[in-house]
Amino acid sequence: MRDVAVIGIGCTKFGEKWESSFRDIFVEAGTRALEDARMSGEKIDAMYVGNMSAGRFIGQEHIGALIADYAGMASRHIPATRVEAACASGGLAFRQAVIAVASGMEDIVVAAGVEKMTDVGSDESTDTLTGAADREWEGFMGATFPGLYAMIAQDYIHKYGMTREQLAQVAVKNHYNGARNPIAQFQSEITLDTVMKSTMVAEPLRLFDCSPVTDGAAAVIVAPLDRAKEFTDTPIKVLATAQASDSIALHDRRDISTLDATVAAGQRAFKMAHLTTKDIDMVEVHDCFSIAEICAIEDLGFCKKGTAGKFTADGETALGGKIPVNTSGGLKACGHPVGATGIKQVYEIVQQLRGEAGKRQVDGAKIGMTHNVGGTGATVACHILGRV
């Protein structure tokens, strides 16, 4: 296998982008990534695009070809492939791009992610997202996504006794980081009170425990490490790519509040990179709900099972803490355009490793990690990236 590097990154601002179309936003993200890599589109050999449900959100399928076309690649007939694994679509698109380059099959490959979610009402977006779970045996029974994660939270609280306030600190911390990220959907800090007094969605989860509905696109360009210097002075090496799966339904899991696919993907990533959690300077985890961040940092091994509430409330996951988590603001504050999230996580880690993260910069960042979840943990993708 060849070593692979990220040579260019681009991202739109995340938010409710009623003034832009699906194709506008991926062209914007892709153009920024090309400019960042100081290259023209003629050099691109292939594209992988993470997208969960354009068919439901905008009535458009066949996203690979659409993106290649509007990115100006139609006349070059490059392979363009859509990758779908619900909210982990972006993470898997990145992994496919890395594998394509590592194998020697392709040289310069774009990994992108895009979702346009606000063209439908909230009822339809809620229903569409339920498709990431088991439609027949969870959704039909009245399960919503917040409802499924709420059942994880209830199980977790029952077993480990985390307080509601500790859980709320995840959202407070992620909004603090989001307020320091120019692309974040929410740019304002919140207090514990904001979370605790927000509308109840599914007990014990309130509105501010939940990531929002978001439009956005992100793109990164990967290349063989030995060619990276042709395009950038600061290539970022892909140290590990890992993926794992588990039962589609939450009720079939070994343990409701442990995501075994996170454990498996995390362990595979650390093994591939010959690293441990101690080597990681910051991690972007999949905080679609506050409880998801609690489970993620434990299941990846950053703290012991049952301790993440205290770990978070003690500030260990904040900027300046033992392991800064979700410096981008995470899905909670940066926003969660489902197919784009996995690519945005890579975008954030690359910015950190280049020292370009501004007010949320982690001092001396050398190695970072991403963790992208599909559904309630049926798919997980983990990547480790490092400075060269």
Partner 1 sequence: MVGTKCETCGRHFFPPRTFCPDCRRAGKIVEHQFTGSGTVVTFTVIHTAAEAYSMLTPYVLAIVKLDEGPQITTQIVCDPTKAKIGMKVKSVFRKIVTDGESGIIHYGTKFVPVE
**Cβ at position 74, least distance to partner 1 in Å:** 39
**Cβ at position 248, least distance to partner 1 in Å:** 11
Among 20, 21, 144, 245, binds partner 1 (CB under 8 A): 144
Cβ neighbours, 10 Å, residue 114: 34
Among 97, 151, 168, 221, binds partner 1 (CB under 8 A): 151
Segment 298-337, which members bind partner 1 (CB under 8 A)? none
> Among 87, 295, 303, 334, which one carries the catalytic annotation?
87
Q: How far is the C-alpha of 108 from the C-alpha of 261, rounded, in Å?
A: 30
Segment 97-126, which members bind partner 1 (CB under 8 A)? 123, 126
Residue 75 or 199: the one with the smaller Cβ distance to partner 1 is: 199
Q: How far is the C-alpha of 8 from the C-alpha of 25, rounded, in Å?
A: 17
Q: Is 251 a catalytic residue?
A: no
Among 35, 193, 203, 356, binds partner 1 (CB under 8 A): 203
Q: Which residue has the tokens 């995501």?
A: 259
Cα 255 to the center of its chain, rounded Å: 23
Among 152, 218, 285, 338, binds partner 1 (CB under 8 A): 152
Q: How far is the C-alpha of 247 from the C-alpha of 257, rounded, in Å?
A: 14
Work out whether 155 is an interface residue with partner 1 (CB under 8 A): yes
Give 282's strand partners. Answer: 368
| Residues 72-92: b if buried by 16+ CB within 10 A, e if exposed | ebeeeebebbbbbbbbbbbbb
> Among 175, 336, 371, 383, which one carries the catalytic annotation?
336
Stretch that binds partner 1, among 15-23, 66-74, 130-138, 331-339 (CB under 8 A): 130-138
Instruction: Give Dmax over CA atoms of the chain in angstroms.
Output: 59
Work out whether 18 is an interface residue with partner 1 (CB under 8 A): no
Residue 57 or 270: the one with the smaller Cβ distance to partner 1 is: 57
Segment 209-268, which members bind partner 1 (CB under 8 A)? 249-252, 256
Q: Is 87 a catalytic residue?
A: yes
Segment 366-385, which members bind partner 1 (CB under 8 A)? none
Cα–Cα distances in angstroms (integers) from residue 243 to residues 27, 105, 270, 276, 309, in the given order: 28, 20, 12, 17, 26
Among 62, 135, 158, 359, binds partner 1 (CB under 8 A): 158
User: What's the burial of 376, exposed, middle or buried (CB within 10 Å: 0-12/13-18/19+)?
Assistant: buried
Stretch that binds partner 1, among 132-140, 226-234, 274-282, 354-362 (CB under 8 A): 132-140
Contacts for 368 with CB less than 8 Å, ≥ 6 apart: 280, 281, 282, 283, 284, 349, 352, 353, 384, 385, 386
Work out whether 38 is an interface residue with partner 1 (CB under 8 A): no
Residue 160 or 176: the one with the smaller Cβ distance to partner 1 is: 160
Task: Assign 294 to helix, strand or coil.
Answer: helix
**Cβ at position 309, least distance to partner 1 in Å:** 17
Q: How far is the C-alpha of 188 from the C-alpha of 175, rounded, in Å?
A: 6
Contacts for 68 with CB less than 8 Å, ≥ 6 apart: 47, 74, 78, 80
Site string for partner 1, 173-202 (x = CB under 8 A): --------------------------xxxx
What is the total count of residues that contact partner 1 (CB under 8 A)? 36
End-to-end CA distance of the chain: 18
Q: Which residues are near partner 1 by CB under 8 A?
A: 123, 126-127, 130, 134, 136-144, 146-148, 150-155, 158, 199-205, 249-252, 256
| Residues designated as active site | 87, 336
